Amino acid sequence: MFQKKFIPISNSTFRQTEWTQSTSPQPATGLLIDQFSRQLSDLRISVTDRCNFRCTYCMPKEVFTKDYPYLAQTELLTFEEIVRIAKIFIRHGVTKIRLTGGEPLLRKNIEDLVSMLSQLRTVGGHKIDLAMTTNGALLARKARTLKEAGLDRITVSLDALDDTIFKQMNDVDFPVSTVLEGIQSAQEAGFSPLKINMVVKRGSNHQEIIPITRYFKDQPHILRFIEFMDVGNSNEWAQNQVLPSAEIMQILADAGMPLMALKAQNPNDTATRWRHLNAQGEIGFISSVSQAFCHSCSRIRLSTQGKAYTCLFASGGHDLRSLIRDPQYENDDQKLSQTIRQIWESRIDRYSAIRHENQTLIQHPDRKKIEMSYIGG
Ligand code: SAM
Ligand code: SF4
Ligand code: SF4
C-alpha cells in the first residue's frame, strides 16, 4: 500500500530545468551530456501502443479494454519519420536503437523499418546496434525475416514456464509453448544468445524463478530477472510485490545454483551480469527498485506518437512530431537537432534514485506517469 504521508510533487527534484529555444543552432558533435554528466547513447523507439497480451504489471485488462483510447493510425510516426528522427539522434551520439512498444511485432511491415534503420551508421561509421524487445508471440513466424532485414539482437519477455502461471501473467490465455517455439526459431535464425526477461512479481510468478533458471542454465541465452516497477498509473504497484534481486540470488543459491559476478560489458548497462558457478548460462538482474541505476542512465525514449521522454517515469514528453510535420521544416533538420540537444542537455531525471532515497517523495496520488506500453521498456 502507498504510504499515507505525501510531500507535494511540485518539489524541485522533479522539475525539468527550463530551456528556451536558442537562436543560434550548433552543429551536432556526436556528444550530448545532461545535467548529471550522463552521455546520450541509447534510443528506444516504441512502434505501437497496442499489444496482444494484457500483462497484469503493464497493461491490465481492466484498464486496457477495447474502448481504451489507443492512438489512431494517423498519429503514429511513419517509418520515414522514425528514421528521420533516429538519424538526428545518431548525430548526437546514439549508437544503440531498440524497437519496443506495446508489442513491436504487431506493427505492420516492421521488418521494413528494421531494414531502414539497419542502414544507418554511427558517428564513428559503425553499424547501429539494432535490437528489439518482444513478447515472442509472433516470433516463430518473424524471426528469419527480422534477421534478413538486419536486426542484431532480440530480447524475449517470458514470465513463467508453467502454462497456467504464464497465462495468468499475460491474461489473454496465451500458451507458453508458442513463445518457447519463438525462442527456438530466433535461435535458429541466428539471434543467439537471446536475452530472456522475466518480470518477477511476488505472489504471482515468484515460484517460477527456480524452474526457469534450471531451464536456461545450460543454454546460450541470458536470463534476466526484472524487479516489478511502478511504471504508469494502471498496474497497482505495491512495494511488497517487489522481490529484490538479492532475494532472488539467495533463492537460487538455496536451490543449488550459486552465481558468480561477471564484469560489466558497458558501464551504462541496466543489468548486472552473473554466471552459474556450476553451469554455462549467464544471468542478469535489473534491480531498478532495490538498486537504482539512474547515475548511468543514457537512454531516451521516442513514443509511438513522436514524443521524446527522458525517463521511464516521466509525466510528459517533448513533441518532435509536430516539428517534423511542420512544412516550414520539411527539408530542415536544424530545428529538430537543436531541440534534441536542448532536451538532453537540460535533463535532470533520476526517478528511481529518488524512490530509493525517499518513497514519499514520488508517490503523490496526483502524479501522472506515462504508461510503459506507450513508450516501451
Ligand atoms: N511487448 C514487448 C515485451 O513485453 O517484451 C515489449 C514492450 S514491454 C513494455 C518491454 C519490457 O518491459 C518487457 O520485458 C516487460 O516485461 C517490461 N515491463 C513492463 N511492465 C513492467 C513493470 N511494471 N515492471 C518491470 N518491467 C516491466
Ligand atoms: Fe504487452 Fe509487453 Fe506490456 Fe506485456 S509487457 S502487456 S507483452 S507491452
Ligand atoms: Fe533512467 Fe529514469 Fe530509469 Fe532513472 S528512473 S534509470 S533516469 S529511466
Ligand nearest to the CA of 49: 2
Average confidence (pLDDT) over 119-144: 97
Q: Is the pLDDT of residue 365 over 70?
A: no
Pocket around ligand 1: residues whose beta carbon is below 6 Å from it? 51, 57-58, 100-101, 103, 133-135, 157, 197, 199, 226, 228-229, 231, 235, 372-373, 376-377
pTM: 0.92
What would the pLDDT profile of 248-266 be if each residue is shown by its tens digit?
999 999 999 999 999 998 8
* Whether 132 contacts 157, CB under 8 Å: no
Give the residue ranges of DSSP H helices in 161-294. 163-170, 176-189, 209-216, 245-254
First to last CA, the chain: 24
Q: Please state which of the four CATH numbers 3.10.20.70, 3.20.20.70, 3.40.640.10, 3.30.56.10 is assigned to the domain occupying 31-375.
A: 3.20.20.70
Residues 180-192 have a mean pLDDT of: 98
Per-domain boundaries in the chain: 31-375
pLDDT tens profile 307-322: 999 999 898 999 999 9
From 291, 295, 297, 347, mutation site for ligand 3 pocket: most ligand atoms within 8 A of C-beta: 297
In terms of Cα–Cα distance, which of 200, 195, 219 is closest to 271?
195
